[in-house]
Chains A and B, each alone.
Chain A
């Protein structure tokens, strides 16, 4: 997923955080890499899985 600086700037505004002009390139690069890596999860069959925060002590989830 390619992400440009303008998109990152807009997302940051919506999230209520300020990114310094001289760090926008780096945040864009980091965000782009993160999204690209997380894109790899798209191929997984996760339809019947419910996310959990804490696993139960016994048994399978």
Chain B
């Protein structure tokens, strides 16, 4: 197997190839390092590459395998993580000049668990400043979407999406507050999961909004995502909000099919004039696929869904501004202009308005839970349109309607689940006529990740979207 073939493997395929001694962990790490050297100057996926550490750790895993030991389910698999996760002794910038010299003295729990499972950390991935989105001049470069370098890869886990779509790592970790993992997954044509809120520890993950931040596995395939979640999920005494619920083998029921599963299209997120026609067609085609696979497809109504973007910003930005108070007071000049003005405006929101948004969040949860008593899986696009051009993303808003469409509306799609602590996954769901990926978002009830993986895997196996490689990457 040559280095390109190794790099195009999924994480679980890599693990199997290593276990079968078809390739060594060092081969796998070298394959990705070579690609990073060759391609990342154009893509800006990585902030830090830990070359020597990665090669050293790969050799250690190889030695353990040689001795007949089992280093874990991700033994020798090269991964990279959003530069929001603390990594002991490794620069952790949070995408901001405020943290340009921050070197944590311990690993986040997610990183520790990924290391314990035998994975090899290649480096830290680019992101929007402070995991917020909207950064105009990212200090470590503007990440390029592998499907069209002029387009955004999504925010805020931009580097995580880019690194996967460009095959610069086998699997990655993003973070998802309001869609920061699922959005880039959608725009880059990969898989991104927001787990149930209390499923994965947030210890050592720099916070954007404490009551909504979630660790987000981002992967090339659904199976990889299920394996990653199995590794990182579970109670952690360092994060008191983590659940004590046992962690199942998320791959166990993944192949059970969707026959009899009840699938509901969210009307409020589908019948809207602002949706791109190719996205609408892709979602409708996905419903046909689910029908063909034996699922019962219906339409459901969540009236508050269309306001989820406003509710999300009202809660998350306001809390985020509170959490960043010291920076806003003492280091505003170190922030990107867009981050600064967004946080400053959120810092001015009156308490009664925040309280109203917090109550609306509970009402939204009630509406979702009611519908989830009628269906098992909710369907919508992850984003109502494909990846915008970089220039569109940073263009000034022209009027209130423009703000509503470009800022609030798209956040409703992913914000629904963030606000309500429910799990949702974005999987490749098609392509526009221009060749840009379309994300299909599936949502489920609390701790129903097994059902989510079952539906996602069935759809993935019935389609070929996840097997496509961006032309610029294929020929690079």
Shortest Cβ distance from residue A10 to the other chain B in the assembled complex, whole angstroms = 10
Taking CB as reference atom, which chain B residue is nearest A29? Answer: B397
A57/B446 contact (C-beta < 8 A), A37-B404, A46-B363, A49-B362 known: yes
Shortest Cβ distance from residue A29 to the other chain B in the assembled complex, whole angstroms = 7
Q: Is A21 positioned at the interface, with any CB of B under 8 Å from its CB?
A: no
Contact A17 B329 (CB under 8 A): yes
| Cβ proximity bits B357-386 to A, threshold 8 Å, 1 near / 0 not | 111111101100100000000000000000
Chain A binder among B26-34, B96-104, B306-314: B306-314
Contact B341 A37 (CB under 8 A): no
Q: Is B394 positioned at the interface, with any CB of A under 8 Å from its CB?
A: no
Contact A57 B198 (CB under 8 A): yes
A34/B362 contact (C-beta < 8 A), A16-B329, A41-B314, A55-B421 known: no
A26 surroundings in chain B (CB, below 8 A): 341
Contact B197 A55 (CB under 8 A): yes
Shortest Cβ distance from residue B112 to the other chain A in the assembled complex, whole angstroms = 24
Size class of the A contact interface (CB-based, 8 Å): 35 or more
B421 surroundings in chain A (CB, below 8 A): 54-55
B474 surroundings in chain A (CB, below 8 A): none
| Cβ proximity bits A18-49 to B, threshold 8 Å, 1 near / 0 not | 11100100110111011111101110101001
B446 surroundings in chain A (CB, below 8 A): 55, 57-58
A34/B198 contact (C-beta < 8 A), A12-B348, A58-B446 known: no
Contact A34 B314 (CB under 8 A): yes
A55/B365 contact (C-beta < 8 A), A38-B357, A46-B359 known: yes
A40/B307 contact (C-beta < 8 A), A23-B340, A54-B211, A57-B243 known: yes
Contact B245 A57 (CB under 8 A): yes
Which B389-406 residues have a C-beta within 8 angstroms of A? Answer: 397, 400, 403-404
12 contacts between A and B (CB under 8 A): A15-B348, A27-B344, A29-B397, A31-B349, A37-B313, A38-B353, A51-B362, A52-B358, A53-B358, A55-B197, A55-B420, A60-B369
- Given A44-B363, A55-B197, 17 new contacts (CB under 8 A): A30-B342, A34-B345, A34-B349, A38-B314, A38-B349, A40-B307, A40-B310, A41-B356, A46-B363, A49-B359, A51-B355, A51-B362, A54-B197, A54-B421, A57-B198, A57-B446, A61-B362
